[in-house]
Structure 1
Amino acid sequence: MIVVTNIVASVIVIIVLQLIGMLIFSWMTPFKDMEELKRGNVAVGLAFGGKFMATAVILGVAAYTNTSIWHMMLWFAVGYVCLIAAYWIFELATPGLKISEHLQKGNVAIGILLCAVFLGTSFAVSSLIV
């Protein structure tokens, strides 16, 4: 019974962390992600999907490598900060390119690239979680 309780608690924490992560990512963009998705903006969908998958990778590895929910949450926080840093570093590394403007205009190439930045960062950061 204790094992089932721990699994249920872990799943609830994972879902809550995933939702919080996506909410924070939504706050980082000057436009409303959900409105852009409703309009069919593929670029925003790719970038948002990349953010979702990246947080899921970090959460999955943190859950797999930690027996404590608190340690899982801590490692997720570390990984999540790295994802946010990757976004801002990418923004700084491309000074002639305003990422959010291109996403809002539907630039699919930028959406794909940003998706890859998030996924690549999550895989790299996940190798540090132990």
Structure 2
Amino acid sequence: MDFSYYLQTLDHFLIYLAVSLVLFIMGTYIFKWITPYSERDQIRSGNSAVALKLLGKMAGLVVVLQSAVLHAINLVDLVIWAFIAIIVQIVLHIVIEYVFTRNTNLAKEVENGNVAVGLFLGGVSVLVGLIVAANISF
């Protein structure tokens, strides 16, 4: 087995890994920034609903980043698709939370510990991530 190929491509792996991790952190921060309550404080106090919702957002983001890495032709392409995916996920989250459930404040329900709502919103984030990831395959 010739390890020289792996050594020659190690720099690409490390660069894409670093960029992907930065995009993941940025995306997670953006999701946390648009949340009307402190997810960190809620999770520290044992709010499982908030933890499930945040985990779903993060998983949806990872699915999209995975697809972007697999299909990107270069780092710029990766970054562009990652930002498009983050924006789409935010917009769809807002549409679901505020349009389809006008009579229920889902953010307040999650903040109050409604695990069913947290799981639903986290699951929707994963599903949206899967749809967006599939479309990145152009």
In structure 2, the residue matched to 1:6 is: 12
- The two structures, once aligned, show a CA RMSD in angstroms of 1.0
Q: Distance in 1 between matches of 2:30 and 2:70?
A: 24
Match 2:106 to one of 99, 107, 112: 99
Runs of 4 or more above 4 Å deviation: none
Post-superposition Cα deviations, 1:62-121, rounded to whole Å, max 9, x if no partner, equal 001113111111111111111101110112210011111011100001011101110110
Matched residue of 2:36: which SS? coil
Post-superposition Cα deviations, 1:16-68, rounded to whole Å, max 9, x if no partner, equal 11001111111111110100010110000000000110000000010011131
CA contact (8 A) 1:86 1:117 kept: no
TM-score by length of 2: 0.90
Matched residue of 1:95: which SS? coil
TM-score by length of 1: 0.96
Query: Which ranges in structure 2 are unaligned for 5 or more consecutive residues?
Result: 1-6
In structure 1, the residue matched to 2:51 is: 45
In structure 2, the residue matched to 1:88 is: 94
Aligned length: 130
Alignment of 1:55-74 (within 5 A): 55-74=61-80
Query: Which ranges in structure 1 are unaligned for 5 or more consecutive residues?
Result: none
2:137 paired with 1:125: no
Cα deviation, residue 2, structure 1: 4.8
Q: Distance in 2 between matches of 1:15 and 1:88?
A: 25
CA contact (8 A) 1:37 1:44 kept: yes
Q: What amino acid sits opposite 1:88 in the alignment? A: I
Q: Distance in 2 between matches of 1:102 and 1:77?
A: 28
User: Percent of counterpart pairs with the same letter?
Assistant: 25
